[in-house]
Amino acid sequence: MKKAFTVARWEFFEKVKSKTFIISLFLTPAIIIAFSVLPTLMATGESDTTKAIGILDLTQEYFSDFKDEIEVYKLKSSIPAYAILNNFKPGLTADSLIKSADAMVIENKLDGYILIRQNGADSVKVEFRTKSIGNFQDIARFEEAFNNLRIKRKLVAENVSPQIIEFIKQRINVNQVKIEKPGEEGKGGFEMVFFSSIIFILLLMMMIIYSGQMLVRSMLEEKSNRLIEILISSCTPQDLLFGKVFGLSTLGFTQVLVWLLIGFSLIGAAIVPISSFDNIHLILLYFILGFIFYTTLFVGIGSVASTEQEAQQITSYLSLLLVLPSIFIISTLQNPDSSLVKIFSYIPFTLPSVMILRVNVSPIPLWEIAVTVLIMIFSITLTIKISAKIFRFGILYYGKMPTLAEIKVWLKD
Amino acid sequence: MLEVKNLVKTYGQLKAVDNLTFAVKPGKIFGMLGPNGAGKTTTIRTILNIIKPNSGEVLLNRKPVTPELFNSIGYLPEERGLYKKSKVWDIIIYFAHLKGMNSSLIKSEADKWLKKLEIPHYKDRKVEELSKGNQQKIQFITAVIHNPELLILDEPFSGFDPINQQLIKDVILDLLDNGKIIILSTHQMDTAEKLCNEILLINEGKEVLSGSLSEIKQKFGGNHIKFSYEGDVKFLSDLNEVISFELYSNEAEIQLKDDIKPEAFLRKIIDRVTIKQFSIIEPTLNKIFIDSIKNKN
């Protein structure tokens, strides 16, 4: 056991001193922050220039009222958000009007235009035609403006009093509130939960992949220069395996610690809200368990590689297994109690990331936490046993990759 | 004393080590010789408990080699290599720790060995900045720093220039004086001949020859001559007197039939080639090696 710690200390200090580690230590959080904060900033950030919007009203019924409704929207500096232009000219066919309006958009004279035409006897069809689609805010505003206009007209025609019209125009939005304990509201909406979960899952994945690759590569070095023979004539393969996993885990947690410190200092700067760290103890628990599980797996399976390509193959397959649960991020968030999500939170490969997500989305009963943690501990013990056996043979295995049949023989020995 | 008894190791159909038995006494260098793929490395790995034999046992001072004995074994593998990005000093300390040395002793021993191998100024350098020879010296230090009782050296001289070969030879002889058990595995027959007292020659996992060097030479026996020459000696293969011969760059080593007198042979060839030197010799280890392996095949 003493020798395992010697190995762990070596693995830790040699890697901590390396340039790649120091770079990744600061580069990774920078990337994550860029990925998680920038889209939010960009999505909510308003455009600060007035947009030139045309209206081509082929029904000739809505233009002036619609214009008034849209011009209600102002930019921060109380300048109108939209400058409205009438694209309708009498005496021209609908087709030529649409073509000339399209041309104005293409030539950048307009940011886009709204096309209103009759759709059957009692309905109209409205299109916002623009070069770049995807601005949800504009669409939402045009939609609201047009619907308000239609409802108001109909009600006026039916002689409804103006007060009632105002009442109907007022919209009520439904807000989502997360409950953690009776009477206690959780903070943060969907985006918040989404981003804080993503941060930790991204962290976990990047860390596992990064240190997994480092591990497999260093084993490959030891194998190719036969240092491995000196190592295992000095300590047992179990010592070596334990030392490597322990050393790298310590390294990983040093990394997380630094990242958390960066995270907390960003809370101070109000970039990352404190609610991202509400369930930090549970998140860290699953994080650590997941990390140890995968690292052990990497050591065992990685030990059979004897060329750089094989090592890359092995690490990318394992990483794929690891990234798999991220497919379910959205569905987990939308429906954390679905049976699929439940199943994945009992499979050791997906358990850590799914649980990190679930912990953030909805409160989890204590028994489930206990069961999942036990599953992880059991799986880790099992992988250590299996990995140690594969490792013992794998580190002395050169040439082509061993077949499953060969590995079976190793496991029996 | 190291005892290896009835060692067998198979890889599938291949018998890498086939019922090998030998003993290595302290204070003498034991030479393990054999052509490529003879099973030397497998034998060494089994002794070191790196791989498990199918049958047979390995005893160091009457105790089986288990992880508890790891600290009293030093090993220099044939293929060299160290952590390239790490510092010389750190690596020496690491391996010394792995061999169970305590920290206070490690530093003084590491300094002593760096000085002994004439590289104390490299202690803070990274391994990749060192020449191949100096890297090998570092590896040699990691094999001996913990003062092992059993030292296994696989081709310890390859890659060294003659001056450093001499340096390493002196160090090995020094260790011998301290009563170490030393196994030397090599292809360099002249080195083995100069250093080893006991020889084990193996081929295809089996023992071919074993015993003390002088015994082996006696047993091999025969009527041997050596001459250096200028010219062409192809005619040697046509002579009835010659049993076998080995040609070196301008030297020939010949085993004559037992009833042939060397001087008669000299008279016979002196007109056909310019002889610069002629001597009656014991067979060299090289000749013994080649003949034994060829005969077996």
pLDDT digits (tens, 9 = 90+) for B55-102: 999 999 888 888 888 999 999 998 888 888 899 999 999 999 999 998
- The CA distance from A318 to the nearest CA of chain B, in Å, is 26
Tell me which residues of chain B have a pLDDT lower than 50: none
Contact check, Cβ <8 Å, B95/A230: yes
A336: nearest Cα among A200, A193, A175, A184: A193
Say what the pLDDT of residue A36 is: 64
- The CA distance from B70 to the nearest CA of chain A, in Å, is 5
Q: What is the CATH number of the domain that holds A154?
A: 3.40.190
CATH of segment(s) B2-217: 3.40.50.300
Say what the pLDDT of residue B12 is: 79
**Last residue within a domain, chosen from A169, A204, A235:** A169
Contact check, Cβ <8 Å, B82/A225: yes
B228: nearest Cα among B247, B255, B206: B247
With a cut of 70, say whether residue A286 has pLDDT above it: yes
Is residue B286 a contact partner of residue B216, using CB atoms and an 8 Å limit? no
Regarding whether A316 and A204 lie in a shared domain, the answer is yes
Regarding whether A314 and A255 lie in a shared domain, the answer is yes
- The CA distance from A241 to the nearest CA of chain B, in Å, is 14
Numbered residues of chain A with Cβ closer than 8 Å to any chain B Cβ? 2-3, 6-7, 10, 13-14, 18, 221, 224-227, 229-236, 396
Say what the pLDDT of residue A171 is: 76
Contact check, Cβ <8 Å, A6/B142: no
- Asked if residue A174 is part of any domain, the answer here is no
Rounded mean pLDDT, A341-351: 86
Say what the pLDDT of residue B32 is: 93
Sign of CA dihedral B287, B288, B289, B293: positive
Say what the pLDDT of residue A271 is: 52
Strands B150-154 and B181-186: parallel
Regarding whether A202 and A250 lie in a shared domain, the answer is yes
| Cα–Cα distance for residue pair B136/B128, rounded to 1 Å | 12
Counts for chain A of helices (H) and strands (E), in that order: 16, 6
Contact check, Cβ <8 Å, A230/B100: no
- Asked if residue A182 is part of any domain, the answer here is no
Regarding whether A249 and A120 lie in a shared domain, the answer is no
With a cut of 80, say whether residue A331 has pLDDT above it: no
Regarding whether A56 and A21 lie in a shared domain, the answer is no
Cβ partners under 8 Å of residue A321, min gap 6:
A349
DSSP A282-314: HHHHHHHHHHHHHHHHHHHHHTT--SHHHHHHH
Tokens linked to A146: 């047009």
Give span(s): CATH 3.40.50.300, chain B. Answer: 2-217
Say what the pLDDT of residue B148 is: 93
Q: Between the CA of residue A162 and those of A155, A156, A196, what are the distances in Å? A: 9, 8, 46
Regarding whether A194 and A303 lie in a shared domain, the answer is yes
Cβ partners under 8 Å of residue A259, min gap 6:
A28, A29, A203
- Asked if residue A183 is part of any domain, the answer here is no
Which of A3, A18, A227 has its CB closest to that of B82? Answer: A227
Q: Between the CA of residue A31 and those of A24, A276, A287, what are the distances in Å? A: 10, 17, 19
Chain B residue numbers touching A7 (CB-CB < 8 A): 98
Contact check, Cβ <8 Å, B90/A14: yes
| Cα–Cα distance for residue pair A236/A392, rounded to 1 Å | 9
Nearest-by-CA chain A residue for B146: A234
Q: Rounded to the nearest 10 degrees, what angle do helices B285-296 and B213-220 cross at?
A: 60
Structural domain that includes position A400: 2-41+189-412
Contact check, Cβ <8 Å, A233/B75: yes
Say what the pLDDT of residue A360 is: 75
| Cα–Cα distance for residue pair B123/B121, rounded to 1 Å | 6
Out of A162-176, A190-204, A318-332, B104-118, pick the least confident: A190-204
Nearest-by-CA chain A residue for B78: A226
- Name residue B143's amino acid: A
| Cα–Cα distance for residue pair A232/B139, rounded to 1 Å | 15
Q: Tell me what percent of the residues of chain A surpass a pLDDT of 90.
A: 8
| Cα–Cα distance for residue pair A25/A21, rounded to 1 Å | 6
Rounded mean pLDDT, A289-297: 88
| Cα–Cα distance for residue pair A105/A315, rounded to 1 Å | 50
Say what the pLDDT of residue A278 is: 65
- The CA distance from A2 to the nearest CA of chain B, in Å, is 9
Chain B residue numbers touching A306 (CB-CB < 8 A): none
Residue B23: strand pairing partners? B3
- The CA distance from A17 to the nearest CA of chain B, in Å, is 9
- The CA distance from A229 to the nearest CA of chain B, in Å, is 7
Phi and psi angles of residue A356, each rounded to the nearest 5 degrees, phi first:
-60, -40
| Cα–Cα distance for residue pair A179/A195, rounded to 1 Å | 18
A397: nearest Cα among A154, A229, A177, A213: A229
The position carrying tokens 């077949």 is: A403
| Cα–Cα distance for residue pair B288/B251, rounded to 1 Å | 17
- Per DSSP, the three-state class of A318 is helix
- Asked if residue A155 is part of any domain, the answer here is yes
Biggest distance spanned by C-alpha atoms of chain A? 97
Say what the pLDDT of residue B7 is: 92
Rounded mean pLDDT, A344-370: 85
**Over chain A, what is the mean pLDDT?**
81
Cβ partners under 8 Å of residue A270, min gap 6:
none
Regarding whether A281 and A141 lie in a shared domain, the answer is no
How deeply is B68 buried, as exposed, middle or buried, from its count of CB atoms within 10 A (0-12, 13-18, 19+)? Answer: exposed
Regarding whether A220 and A131 lie in a shared domain, the answer is no
Q: What is the tens place of the pLDDT at every residue in A160-175?
A: 888 888 888 777 878 7
Cβ partners under 8 Å of residue B254, min gap 6:
B224, B225, B226, B227, B236, B242, B244, B245, B246
CA angle A104–A108–A109, rounded 5-degree value: 55
Regarding whether A23 and A133 lie in a shared domain, the answer is no
How many domains are contained in chain A? Answer: 2
Give span(s): CATH 3.30.70.100, chain B. Answer: 222-296
Contact check, Cβ <8 Å, B85/A233: no
Regarding whether A344 and A317 lie in a shared domain, the answer is yes
- Asked if residue A91 is part of any domain, the answer here is yes
Which of A6, A13, A233 has its CB closest to that of B50? Answer: A233
Cβ partners under 8 Å of residue B282, min gap 6:
B217, B224
Regarding whether A294 and A245 lie in a shared domain, the answer is yes
Rounded mean pLDDT, A139-157: 87
Cβ partners under 8 Å of residue A335, min gap 6:
A341
DSSP A18-43: SHHHHHHHHHHHHHHHHHHHHHHHHH
Cβ partners under 8 Å of residue A365, min gap 6:
none
Chain B residue numbers touching A14 (CB-CB < 8 A): 83, 85-86, 90
- Per DSSP, the three-state class of B242 is strand
Nearest-by-CA chain A residue for B92: A10
A16: nearest Cα among A329, A255, A184, A219: A255
Residue B274: strand pairing partners? B230
**Last residue within a domain, chosen from A140, A169, A198:** A169
Q: Tell me what percent of the residues of chain B surpass a pLDDT of 90.
A: 40
With a cut of 70, say whether residue A186 has pLDDT above it: no
DSSP B87: B
| Cα–Cα distance for residue pair B185/B142, rounded to 1 Å | 18
Tokens linked to B217: 């030479």
If phi over 0 gives left and psi between -120 and 50 gives alpha, with beta otherwise, what is residue B71?
alpha
Rounded mean pLDDT, A284-288: 86
Chain B residue numbers touching A20 (CB-CB < 8 A): none
With a cut of 90, say whether residue A68 has pLDDT above it: no
| Cα–Cα distance for residue pair A323/A122, rounded to 1 Å | 51
CATH of segment(s) B222-296: 3.30.70.100
With a cut of 80, say whether residue A35 has pLDDT above it: no
With a cut of 70, say whether residue A73 has pLDDT above it: yes
Question: For residue A42, what pLDDT band results from cuts at 50, 70 and 90?
Answer: low
Regarding whether A240 and A368 lie in a shared domain, the answer is yes
B8: nearest Cα among B69, B57, B50: B57
Contact check, Cβ <8 Å, B75/A226: no
